[in-house]
Amino acid sequence: MRSVYRALAGLIAIGVLVQAAAIGLAWFTVLKDVDGGLVYDKNSDFNAGHMIHTIVGSGIIPLLTILLLIISFFAKVDGGVKWALYVFGLVVLQFGLAVASFGAPVVGALHGLNAFALLAVASMAARRAAAPASASAETQAEATT
């Protein structure tokens, strides 16, 4: 179960990287198309980058996050439930920021910054699962002294 926890947390972190690459692809494609004379407006279709960003962000990452939270109760990772809840909270916040960004585009900057937080927290969760339980406890004991 520790391996599953680690894999899920790692996949969430990788998903965030895919999100960043996809949104870069999406908007640079739009800029190239506009420079080529196309008009981009509310009637325009999403390009491949937009579709990848949507599928990964609203489908795959939330699914992996729910699975991580469920597995966290059985994985026997020190602090595993806590870190899974952090990931879950950041994913919920990320979704809320995305929705809010359509009404207030400046919120999109927070959406981008929160992605970095999600990447960091998911990576930390994966690293905690990689450490043996006793080594993790020793590290925590050293940190508190």
Q: Hey, CA dihedral for 22, 24, 25, 30, is it positive or negative? A: positive
Q: Are 86 and 120 in contact (CB under 8 A)?
A: no
Which pLDDT tens digit goes with each residue over 110-141? 999 999 999 999 999 999 998 776 555 555 55
Q: Are 44 and 26 in contact (CB under 8 A)?
A: no
Give the residue, 144 or 92, on which the prediction is more confident: 92
Which pLDDT tens digit goes with each residue over 68-87? 999 999 999 999 999 999 99
In a domain, 40, yes or no: no
Q: How far apart are CA 134 and CA 105, in angstroms?
A: 46
pLDDT at 1 over 70: yes
Q: Which residues form the domain of 107?
A: 1-31+47-131
Which pLDDT tens digit goes with each residue over 14-28? 999 999 999 999 999
In a domain, 143, yes or no: no
In a domain, 8, yes or no: yes
What the block records as the tokens of 91 is 């994913």
In a domain, 82, yes or no: yes
In a domain, 83, yes or no: yes
* Number of independent structural domains in the chain: 1
Q: At which residue do the structure tokens 């279709």 appear? A: 45
Quick one: pLDDT at residue 66?
A: 98
In a domain, 22, yes or no: yes
| pTM metric for this prediction | 0.86
Which pLDDT tens digit goes with each residue over 91-111? 999 999 999 999 999 999 999
User: For the chain, what is the radius of gyration of the CA atoms?
Assistant: 18
Q: How far apart are CA 97 and CA 109, in angstroms?
A: 9
In a domain, 142, yes or no: no
Q: How far apart are CA 92 and CA 66, in angstroms?
A: 11
What the block records as the tokens of 139 is 């590290």
Q: How far apart are CA 13 and CA 61, in angstroms?
A: 9
Amino acid found at 31 = L
The pLDDT-based confidence of 142 (bands split at 50, 70, 90) is low
In a domain, 41, yes or no: no
